[in-house]
Structure 1
Amino acid sequence: MNVEALLQAIPPIAVYLLVGGVIGIESLGIPLPGEIALVSAALLSSRHTLDISPVGVAAAAAIGAIIGDTIGYSIGRRFGMSLFERLGNRFPKHFGPGHVALAKGLFERWGVWAVFFGRFIALLRIFAGPLAGAMRMRYPRFLAANATGAVVWAGGTTAVIYYAGIAAERWLSRFSWIALVLAVVIGIGATLLMREQTSRLIAQLEAENDWETLRRH
């Protein structure tokens, strides 16, 4: 199987649409591997044999994030916190009470900064838009934090991976596709690690809530 020929057959516009689509849907509140899609596309853009632009990748990711979060904000504002109760009943692994309580606690503590930094954190990347709307955060403030976070996250991630890919291509020569596989593996590992840390925080939060309930009774 000729990996190089397969990569060259992929139209750049398809890469941009895929990145923007995956990140946009993830920002709506649907758990998808947005970060892995961005990292993979950014690495592809570092290959001089392909026509994929790093600027195009970053722009697609930022636009997808902003649009997805805005739609998620509108949905959250329309249905309120009851939205998360329904989602929790259907998808307890992603929208369970512990997940919602942790995200809500971070929003109450950090406000718009939770929206900005939420783009860099797996849990908040899914919750940021809908939760900000449900908590009635003013839209201009949300939009400013959301857009800024999306541009910094998309641009910064793309730049780092792009230059890392160029360096890897110099060292690996014909076998530079290994870097793509390595990036995906690292991305998956980081995602799993973040989920494990989030689960621990949720378990700790639930234990504290149970203790508080027992103390009141």
Structure 2
Amino acid sequence: MHVDEWLQAIPPLWICALVGLVIGLESLGIPLPGEIVLVSSALLAAQGVVNPLWVGICASVGAIVGDSIGYAIGRKGGKPMFDRLGRRFPKHFGPSHIAKAERYFERYGMWTVFFGRFVALLRILAGPLAGALRMPYWRFLTANVLGGIAWAGGTTAVVYYLGRVAEKWLKGFSWAGLVLAVLFGVVTTLLVKRRAARMAAQEAEEPAGAA
């Protein structure tokens, strides 16, 4: 069963609560599919199953609260905590992941927390790592609140309105139009992934060049 099918079996109020909970736990530092749950819930909102405003509010609150708890945990546990997590969960907290996230913090500071919302790796690490690196809390909180609202609220709004437009569009076009839309989406995704891979390669080359 897909996530959206599973969500449809849940009452609307519980969908909003679940969105906030999953995103909050992910922001706290637990690897969960927060973005998938958010997008699926926004699509359900486009179908009239749940109110999009409450999806966005719950997602934003979950993101902000989860990141704040993650910050407190990271501040208390410090970098040794990431060493322990790296040994237990190398796929998500391995030395290479932590080192890459630290480079982002060194280069961009509080903007890492803001834009980290839009990157899967940083969405998990931003809060705890900001605490471990002793980022001033007021700077973290500012970036956390703005980033949480921009990512959670923005994603909900974009997916909701795209879903509404797509539903009307598909009613007036043939299956050929649907196929073209899918192909366009696949090509766009591949181009974005290629661009991301290039950026990752450049990030990897910079430390080597500096050495």
TM-score, normalised to structure 2, is 0.80
Deviates more, 1:197-206 or 1:147-156: 197-206
8 Å CA contact 1:23–1:61 kept in 2: the answer is yes
Deviation at 1:204, TM superposition (A): 2.8
Residue 132 to residue 144, structure 1, CA distance change in 2 (3 Å): same
Opposite residue 37 of structure 2, the aligned amino acid is A
Q: Which runs of 5+ in 2 are unaligned?
A: 172-177
Aligned to 2:14: 14
Matched, 1:168 2:162: no
Aligned length: 192
- Written as runs of structure 1 = structure 2, the 5 A alignment for 1:25-174 is 25-48=25-48, 50=49, 52-173=50-171
* CA deviations over 1:75-102 (Å, ceiling 9, x no partner): 0000101111000000111111110000
> How many Å separate the matches in 1 of 2:29 and 2:7?
30
* CA deviations over 1:51-72 (Å, ceiling 9, x no partner): x111100011101001110110
Segments of 4+ in structure 1 off by > 2 A?
5-10, 196-209
8 Å CA contact 1:80–1:133 kept in 2: the answer is yes
Deviation at 1:26, TM superposition (A): 0.6
8 Å CA contact 1:99–1:202 kept in 2: the answer is no
8 Å CA contact 1:75–1:130 kept in 2: the answer is yes
% of aligned pairs identical? 56
> How many Å separate the matches in 1 of 2:28 and 2:157?
25
8 Å CA contact 1:77–1:130 kept in 2: the answer is yes
> How many Å separate the matches in 2 of 1:42 and 1:127?
25
> How many Å separate the matches in 1 of 2:94 and 2:205?
12
Residue 71 to residue 7, structure 1, CA distance change in 2 (3 Å): closer
Secondary structure of 1:87's partner?
A: helix
Residue 138 to residue 6, structure 1, CA distance change in 2 (3 Å): closer
